[in-house]
Amino acid sequence: MADIVDIAVGAGSFQTLVTAVQVAGLVDVLKSPGPFTVFAPNDAAFAKLPPGTVQTLVQNVPQLTRILTFHVVSGKLMKADLEQLGVVTSIEGSPIRVNTEDGFEVKNATVVAADIEADNGVIHIIDNVILMG
């Protein structure tokens, strides 16, 4: 099995996320043993952001890092685990609300694919970039 970064690179639908992780210097963190739970916005999720947002974030590495780390939780939390918790804390430090009553949502994003296992955690693919606050 591959690690979180290798799965994202191999999937082909996370080019923006992979580039952002590289720019933010988070590749080594997400290749470490973890384990981590990653709410991974696909390329279509990044495309929903206002024009120029991604470019602005790439130029503001501290803000980019903060947003990316908001998508990561310590520990390997499968959908069943998240259903029990309701709220998790990102490694950025902010809470992330999880709602599984009508589908599977994380804050303002719908999980389009859950429980993609990696050597160092699990990936849940989301359809929006989630933001703190």
**Residue 124, Cα to own-chain centre: how many angstroms?**
7
What are the structural domains of the chain? 4-126 (2.30.180.10)
Residue 35: asked if its preceding bond is cis (omega within 30°), the reply is yes
Task: Return the pLDDT at 1.
Answer: 85
Closest CA to 41 of 6, 4, 13: 13
- In 78-126, where do the E strands start and end? 87-89, 95-99, 105-106, 109-118, 121-126
Q: How many CB atoms lie within 10 A of CB 55?
A: 9
Task: Return the pLDDT at 102.
Answer: 87
Q: What's the token pair of residue 115? A: 């429980």
With a CB cutoff of 8 Å and minimum separation 6, the contacts of 28 are none
Alpha-carbon gap, residue 1 to 34, rounded angstroms: 15
Where residue 22 falls (left for φ over 0; alpha for ψ -120 to 50; beta otherwise) is alpha
Question: Are the beta carbons of 88 and 73 closer than 8 angstroms?
Answer: yes
In angstroms, the first-to-last Cα distance of the chain is 35
Task: Return the pLDDT at 133.
Answer: 79
Taking only the tens of pLDDT, the chain with its 133 residues reads 899 999 999 999 999 999 999 999 999 999 999 999 999 999 999 999 999 999 999 999 999 999 999 999 999 999 999 999 999 999 999 999 999 988 999 999 999 999 999 999 999 999 999 998 7
Task: Return the pLDDT at 122.
Answer: 98
Question: Are the beta carbons of 90 and 114 closer than 8 angstroms?
Answer: no
